[in-house]
Structure 1
């Protein structure tokens, strides 16, 4: 197949995150399977306007807002000079590319999560109202009858609320890479970790408040924030205003080995985000036997964390604080959740994700009707695995 994938950023972008990793892994996996893959995204200073990487052709043009029109122009130009694409993937990160305006090829719409909560957090009221109007009203109408892909059941359900036919929404979860073998450093006390882009709607301030409240009950408690983003200065100022510099570490962007060392040394992963399409950091932590605590209403987090089995779901900061306090004083439960999290992580592989995408895109290119493949639950049985002890977690 000749495939175009439109995503507003790529993983080399300074603000690239989980959605960009998903796009790269799917694109490179399809290229490795023999398909011709062109990745259209915004231009930035970290990479050239055109390059080939692991079999994928990257074409970068346009700004954060200009990338949408630039991608449509590129599709028209490429089809005029190289022939029609067999299928185009339109990744809707809040705003769609409306790729159907540029091609007669089948268009598959990928949605990580619906941005109802993010619009007013990140943008001014007029811009938020416009963006939400396009996402919630215009896009479902213009893409009616097309194949959709969601990365979680919660995203599928939210799309249904916007008028998207649930039978047209396939669910293809994130995969995860087997973690590298790393040696977890011994720590003087329990470590909490937040992993991901440092942006406003991730609400890292909640993790800082939680750590500050529990310091007296758990000597040596530290918070490690792994990641970078446009909200970094505000988080740094918040840490200073709380007087938390001695026990909150803002590590910024780190390499893969360092990231996995931090996860392996953690007692718990915290996910205080407003919304996640899936929660890739949850599964990455789980691959080290580290359970997670997140908010029940944060979209796909309620699926990447199986409440009471691989971690805990809570409703607000007060409950999150109480949950962390309870687990840090109950090492047996902490180990049980970690064992189950390890088994949970093993179920999600990028090979399976790519195979599901290949099957779906072939269906679309052949003109088949949309499908809801992957729409089923995978309960995780309790695991009887032997992983690190409670002493190593909190020593």
Structure 2
């Protein structure tokens, strides 16, 4: 097929996150399978307008907001060239059905519903406009098109909060972790938090919990890995025992995660939570709030703990640290082994062809118990 992968950023963008990992891991596998792939995205400072990486041809244009009209114009000028478009929604989609031919298959990928997060990042009037585009305009634009949600809770949010009516297929993310030598667990209690430093990740909740945790667990250390617009603000208020690493190369990040006792996500909501599965692949369980995405990535009582929204985070983490004699590490690795980017690409390829990826696209605890897909990752 001739496929256009349309995503807000590319994987080398300074603000790249899980959505970019998803788009890139699929793009490179599409190309490897022999498809003609164009990755159409914004142009970060210092990046080329076009280049070819691993058989994927990149076309970069525009910035945070101008990328949307420029990409639509680019596709309109090539409206007969593509068999399929993977339209990745990052708050709002690109509305590519407006400019391609009706016979071109357009699949909208929704990582998570942003309606409750617009207000944390944008002025009131712009947040309201974002919710209008994400809801009624998107619902109408993609009403005859198939969509992909990366988790069951994302599909539920699409139906209940956005009123999505078209077919939605659940195809989860894969997981990549750098291979590192066994670094062993830290001798002192160590917690790691991995993710972009943005408002809805709520890293400040973990930092606020640290003094209380250190009273209960002397010497406890929190490692925060990631960059983002709140980095300077968080760095200025780091409590004793917290280390803000910023960006780390994959191998170094894996070493930091592997030596931790716990991974913590205080996020308000995710599409899935790549960092949760990356930690699980290294045998590290996660404490998270019971919110969209994270409620699917964490298997409560098996690979971590889910806290009711509003629960005191320090108490939740302390309870988890007290329970670590349970064989969570084994369960974590088994659960992470159920996911692979090859499996994700196969599911999305099926949808791009107009096929159903099948009911087994999302693993269950039965898969863990039976060892299904254990070697796929």
Cα shift readout 1:166-206 (whole Å, capped 9, x = no counterpart): 6x001110001254033426634111111011111110001
* 2:106 paired with 1:107: yes
* 2:93 paired with 1:93: no
Cα shift readout 1:273-328 (whole Å, capped 9, x = no counterpart): 1111000000000001100011102x110000011111100024544322211232
Structure 1 distance, partners of 2:322, 2:363, is: 32
Q: CA deviation at 1:209?
A: 1.3
2:186–2:261 Cα contact (<8 Å) kept? no
2:83–2:105 Cα contact (<8 Å) kept? yes
- Equivalence for 1:208: 207
Q: Which stretch of structure 1 is more off in the superposition, 135-144 or 23-32?
A: 135-144
Cα 1:316–1:265 change in 2 (3 A) is same
Alignment partner for residue 321 of structure 1, among 314, 327, 336?
Answer: 314
Give the paired residue count.
Answer: 368
2:173–2:339 Cα contact (<8 Å) kept? yes
Aligned-partner SS, 2:45: coil
- Equivalence for 2:374: none
Alignment partner for residue 379 of structure 1, among 360, 365, 377?
Answer: 365
2:85–2:105 Cα contact (<8 Å) kept? yes
Which residues of structure 2 form unaligned runs of 5+? 372-377
- Equivalence for 1:67: 67
- Equivalence for 1:353: 344
Higher relative contact order (CA 8 A, sep 6+): 1
Q: CA deviation at 1:382?
A: 7.1
Cα root mean square deviation, aligned? 2.0
Q: CA deviation at 1:371?
A: 7.6
Structure 2 distance, partners of 1:122, 1:74, is: 28
* Equivalent runs, 1:45-60 vs 2, <5 Å: 45-60=45-60
Cα shift readout 1:52-76 (whole Å, capped 9, x = no counterpart): 1011011110110011111111112
2:62–2:70 Cα contact (<8 Å) kept? yes
* 2:274 paired with 1:275: no
- Equivalence for 2:235: 236
Structure 2 distance, partners of 1:252, 1:340, is: 29
Structure 1 distance, partners of 2:46, 2:369, is: 43
Structure 2 distance, partners of 1:319, 1:257, is: 33
Structure 1 distance, partners of 2:107, 2:368, is: 36
1:170–1:374 Cα contact (<8 Å) kept? no
Which residues of structure 1 form unaligned runs of 5+? 386-395
- Equivalence for 1:392: none
* Equivalent runs, 1:1-395 vs 2, <5 Å: 1-79=1-79, 83-104=80-101, 105-161=104-160, 162-165=162-165, 168-177=167-176, 179-184=178-183, 187-239=186-238, 244=239, 246-297=240-291, 299-316=292-309, 318-333=311-326, 336-363=327-354, 374=360, 378-380=364-366
Cα shift readout 1:77-102 (whole Å, capped 9, x = no counterpart): 334xxx52001111111111110111
Structure 1 distance, partners of 2:353, 2:185, is: 49
2:202–2:267 Cα contact (<8 Å) kept? yes
